[in-house]
Amino acid sequence: MDIKGLQFAIFGMGESGVDTAEFLLRRGAQVRAVDRKPYEELKPDHARRLVAAHIPLVLQGESALDNVDIALLSPGVPPKLPLFEEARRRGIRVTGELEFCSHFLHGPILGITGSNGKTTTTSLCGHLLKESGIPVQVGGNIGTPLAAMLDSSRDDQWNVLELSSFMLELADTLHVAIASILNITPDHLDRHGSLENYTAAKRRILRNQTPLDAAVLNAGDALSHESASFTKAAVHEFSSGGRVERGFWREGPDLIANGEFWMPRSEVQLQGRHNVENVLAAGCCAHLAGAPLSALRRAVADFPGVEHRIEFVRELNGVRYYNDSKGTNVDATIKALESFESGIWLILGGRDKASDYTPLRPLIEARGRGVLLIGEATPIIDAQLAGISVPVTSCGDMAAAIAYASARVVPGDVVLLSPACASFDQYSGYNERGRHFKSLVGQLEEKG
């Protein structure tokens, strides 16, 4: 695609937006950065890079569309804003970063989406391929934005990408050679409007597959399993609950690959049934990409997990502290709760995403010692948990929640941050939230 001389307006100056702007500039395009914030309110490094590249920044509004050929939307920018209807009325092409950047990417895509487990499965899949000697680079919604992967991409290299519903929403021509939908449960309904719309966005990962491609679906998740009818690819499945026709599954203490013993569950370091599913999905994807089972077994056994996903922080006075800041929806928090038998002090809350928190009630009552609420969603969650047998306390912020829990825990308890909410009321993202939790936990002192 020849873009030399075309005028682009890139909406959203997060990391991926800045990377995309720099890439376009290197390819000879004219670039305009657009954001709701002025330079001084952007992250300092992002502002510095725009200034260094002489990329002008204009505030989001109709004037940002003047003389523009293509409007590129960062994933965090909702495509249904009236501004983009105006852009289309003017004849401006409106597209997303994923859709646009994929045209410049060399090598096949192994794409992973789902409501939960994307980051762990994507990271693990990249690790499996690398340890198997297969050229790979990993990014997308985690780590390296796609625009920053383009120059290093090669025809003989796999691009393992975590793909969110926000990224897939505008993906019209994206071709994913191996596509996995891990699960689909209600999330981001504040943006998508309904579970049906959210599901449709996820299924766009399958949109342009051919019979030569592969789709890896979850036999135990209804919406993932039913996605088979939306692809022309060969369907493989994974299951933590028993045999599938073709794919990877758990059978008692063992993990099975296409009917062949692969490895014992005991060699997997990751905690929880959901992580067994992540291992099965990643193993299936990596095997389809050419990795032998023997190499995959060694690589799985070496994989410790990812930051902010039921991440063990420390044990203090017989109490274990876990950071699951990436648990930003109710289903993720359910999976985190299922990973522990009892004695859980659960830190919940943040920015609500039009979620229903009532499914948490049975697990909290069965395994919890206390619920500590933080952030904007406090009154919503408090109302939906009203009447449960476990105390629910409004703490306001993270520091107060940890102080409250640490004053009441006893040996054998677990303090778990798994908020079931977005972080943007008090933090810049789940990374900052999780690291704040870990910092505060690290400052707790031994009891004499």
Residue where a domain stops, chosen among 253, 279, 302: 302
What are the φ/ψ torsions at residue 167 (nearest 5 degrees)?
-70, -40
Each residue's pLDDT tens digit, 349-364: 999 999 999 999 999 9
Distances (CA, A) of 129 to 135, 187, 213, 429: 7, 30, 18, 29
447 domain-assigned = no
- Catalytic positions, please? 118, 141, 188
79 domain-assigned = yes
The neighbouring-strand residues paired with 261 are 256
280 domain-assigned = yes
Closest to 273 in 3D by CA, of 184, 334, 209: 334
What mean pLDDT comes out for the span 187-212?
93
Tell me the HSE value of 335 on the side-chain side, using a 13 A CA sphere: 26
* Contact call for residues 279 and 254 (beta carbons, < 8 A): no
* Contact call for residues 78 and 165 (beta carbons, < 8 A): no
Each residue's pLDDT tens digit, 101-116: 999 999 999 999 999 8
218 domain-assigned = yes
Shared-domain flag, residues 186 and 288: yes
What is the pTM for the complete model shown?
A: 0.82
Each residue's pLDDT tens digit, 360-384: 999 999 999 999 999 999 999 999 9
* Contact call for residues 283 and 262 (beta carbons, < 8 A): yes
Structural domain range at position 28: 7-97
Shared-domain flag, residues 56 and 205: no
CA atoms of 385 and 372, how far apart (whole Å): 12
